[in-house]
Amino acid sequence: MFVDSHCHLDFPELAAQLPEILERMRGNHVAQALCVSVNLPDWPRLMELVRGHDNLWASVGVHPDYEDTPDPTVEQLVELAATPKVVAIGETGLDYYRLTGDLTWQRDRFRNHIRAARRTGKPLIIHTRSAAEDTLRIMEEEGAAEVGGVMHCFTESQAVADAAIAMNFHISFSGIVTFKNARELQEVARNIPLDQILIETDSPYLAPVPHRGKLNDPSKVIHVAEKIADLRGITVEAVAEASTKNFFNLFKDIQR
């Protein structure tokens, strides 16, 4: 059994073909998927989608790339996180690649998510791009280790992975790990403890080889597991078992 720890099934290009995607998931033994929030205006639509399916779950949060969207308060996040089927806070974090200038608002938003996670006891889903130093610093300052979580779609160095693991965070690999030019990332996937690994699609983006460049969906997470198994010299079944166990251990509110 596989799980997709991070996808966006509510995005229009996937929501329009949800029955077919769910069927493909069953065919590839992908039993569960976590549908991750990116902003609050679209969050009701996300919740409507997951409520209709026993194997779909949700988070609540505002992505750091969404500049022109309402910023959530700690109290809002805490209130929304109490909604049934919400199992995590995020995705949140920092992104200095897509946005430049004074990004104080991004750091403030990130701090609010960590504070809400500590209030609720729910794990964090963290996005970081070109901002690892500040991301780790804020995680430490705000006590993110108290709740832990996942560094999603990880593309950073071994040192960043080690620092995140030391704060009770899992490392989640997407289709990027299957790309030929992702050699440094592949070394991270080879070396980190198996009990800290998660797998994801981040669909509709980042389709893994052999589907690179095509629309991605949770059924394709099996290819991420296959690549990690190949890198580590273990069976795909071992990666599936470990990543699925890690998923349920982290997102404790999810029912099997």
**Per-residue pLDDT reduced to its tens digit, 43-55:** 999 999 999 999 9
Question: Has residue 92 got a pLDDT over 90?
Answer: yes
Question: Has residue 181 got a pLDDT over 90?
Answer: yes
Phi, psi angle pair for 212, to nearest 5°? -55, 135
Question: Has residue 255 got a pLDDT over 90?
Answer: no
Of 40, 32, 33, 84, which is closest to residue 60 (Cα–Cα)?
40
As a whole number, mean pLDDT of residues 187-202 equals 98
Classify residue 68 by its DSSP letter.
S
As a whole number, mean pLDDT of residues 143-158 equals 98
Do you find a cis peptide bond into 64, omega within 30 degrees of 0? no
Of 31, 172, 210, which is closest to residue 88 (Cα–Cα)?
172
Confidence class of residue 112 from pLDDT cuts 50, 70 and 90?
very high
142 Cβ neighbours under 8 A, 6+ residues apart: 111, 114, 115, 118
pLDDT of residue 141: 98
Confidence class of residue 157 from pLDDT cuts 50, 70 and 90?
very high
As a whole number, mean pLDDT of residues 10-34 equals 98
Packing angle between helix 236-250 and helix 221-232, nearest 10 degrees? 120
Share of the chain above pLDDT 90, in %: 99
pLDDT of residue 244: 98
Question: Has residue 22 got a pLDDT over 90?
Answer: yes
Classify residue 215 by its DSSP letter.
P
Rounded to the nearest integer, the mean pLDDT of the chain is: 97
As a whole number, mean pLDDT of residues 5-10 equals 98
Confidence class of residue 108 from pLDDT cuts 50, 70 and 90?
very high
